[in-house]
Amino acid sequence: MDIEFNKNEDFNKQSVYELKTRLKKIYKGGGEQSAAKQKEKGKLLARERIAYLIDKETEFLEVGAFAADGMYAEQGGCPAAGVVCGIGYVSGRQCMIIANDATVKAGAWFPMTAKKNLRAQEIAMENRLPVIYLVDSAGVYLPMQDEIFPDKEHFGRMFRNNALMSADGIVQISAIMGSCVAGGAYLPIMSDEAMIVEGTGSVFLAGSYLVKSAIGEDIDNETLGGAATHCEISGVTDYKHPNDQACLDSIRNIMGMLGAPQVAGFDRIKPAMPAKDPLELYGLLPENREKPYDMLDVIHRLVDHSEFEEYKQLYGQSIICGLGRIDGWAVGIVANQRKVVKSKKGEMQFGGVIYSDSADKSARFIMNCNQKKIPLVFLQDVTGFMVGSRSEQGGIIKDGAKMVNAVSNSVVPKFTIVMGNSYGAGNYAMCGKAYDPRLIYAWPSAKIAVMGGAQAAKVLLQIQQASLKSKGETITPEKEAELLKEVTEKYNSQTTPYYAAARLWVDGIIDPLETRKVISMGIEAANQSPIKKPFNVGIIQT
């Protein structure tokens, strides 16, 4: 066991090291040359602005750091989708911060930039978090405008969200700290308050070049839309500041005067660390994703005092349900058990598989947590629902539907951590991205796909073989082996957490030791949004 533990520990620590190395590269944005150009203008970089703005020695929970990772290679890449987003504390108040990174293509908007901005706004709207926009963007990346501009979930949706948040009383403050062009000009001006930095900040619907070509007027950008114009003539902006620091100080000052939010009333007591060492998580999680392990060992290293009140402990054992506390907050945990279990009827059940009894138990537990107003935490390491005649005759679809219904209609906030496998309908039942978790983060060990790599590769190979045969090509055993290798490698590359995070299927990838922080900050945010919708599951399969 010790050798196995040590092997796991080495592998998982190496995975976390790779994660941190990749993040360091992303944090450099568009690179040193681009950063130097911003500095020459007297500007702080996007991450420096956030570090200056947030309260000292508080956490910043970044959302979408890996957005667009490995994408847009032909355009030279777009680290973090050219915008830094996350939950931070400003003057003691938790808020969503959205900061354009002008080192990445002058802060221009790519398709993933729009998706990331909309995700940040969604988090703010669900949790009623004040939003601070640090604007420094050249607007839509024109060569890709057809993928950014016209559709429902594109660029324009942001301004619609600005209006909805304003109507709903969610505070929005904007700082124009660089370019702010065309449609993008509406974002700060649709905020409750807009401030502008002299010399570097400018806001206009059309820049000087476009004005010249459209109406023949010769004018420079500063006169057209600089700080003096908008603070003294047009009245478009509300505050003028000499530099980035003064502008950020002003935001801190305003944030310090906000009235207290209403609270949802989730229960919290004094936080405590787990009694069992969280560092042991590295050794407990198997290097091989197929190997069994006891999920209770993981839970005991996540919950305060390692105390966990298990629900229906001896029934439906392939999913563990129960109550505990994370950083003082009361939570209901739904987690896939990864060891082989034996039911009282003598049936052996595979770890990570959802059976009828475990789906039935989970649905009931989720409904219970809604009744008690306890936030839900889903720990995913799921290979799917049980298949075969015995399961089908036992009503697995009916019981699975019951669980999916309970998850879908749940009104308490849900948080999902993808620790291992997240396959097929198991992803759905365990509150995958489509089921509106307030936050969804993955460990480096996560794998997200419609099915496991080995099974999928064989199916894909059969499809490819049929296609080649229809073209009259003969497939030798060597060719078949080569095709299988090719298909497997491609499929596996698409199941990594990095592939998922690049496309914002998850909000980020974290060191397992950050799990408690993510859940705690998430519940703290959710606690600022009282539950108004009654819990109702509609027609439930019985």
Q: What are the tens digits of pLDDT across the range 440-480?
A: 999 999 999 877 767 766 777 777 777 777 777 777 777 77
Choosing among 3.30.9.10, 3.30.300.20, 1.10.10.10, 3.90.226.10, the CATH entry for 278-446+506-527 is 3.90.226.10
* Burial of residue 393 (number of CB atoms within 10 Å: 0-12, 13-18, 19+): exposed
For 31-257, CATH gives 3.90.226.10
Positions of the chain with pLDDT lower than 70, given as ranges: 1, 141-143, 182-185, 205-209, 387-388, 453, 456-457
Q: Tokens 């040193």, residue?
A: 32
* Burial of residue 269 (number of CB atoms within 10 Å: 0-12, 13-18, 19+): exposed
Quote the tokens at residue 124.
Answer: 């703010």
Q: What is residue 113's predicted lDDT score, i.e. its pLDDT?
A: 94
Q: What is residue 217's predicted lDDT score, i.e. its pLDDT?
A: 80
Q: Cite the residue boundaries of each domain of the chain with CATH code 3.90.226.10.
A: 31-257, 278-446+506-527
Quote the tokens at residue 358.
Answer: 């475990």
* Burial of residue 249 (number of CB atoms within 10 Å: 0-12, 13-18, 19+): middle
For strands 309-311 and 239-241, give the pairing: unpaired
Q: What is residue 214's predicted lDDT score, i.e. its pLDDT?
A: 80
| Average pLDDT score, the chain | 90
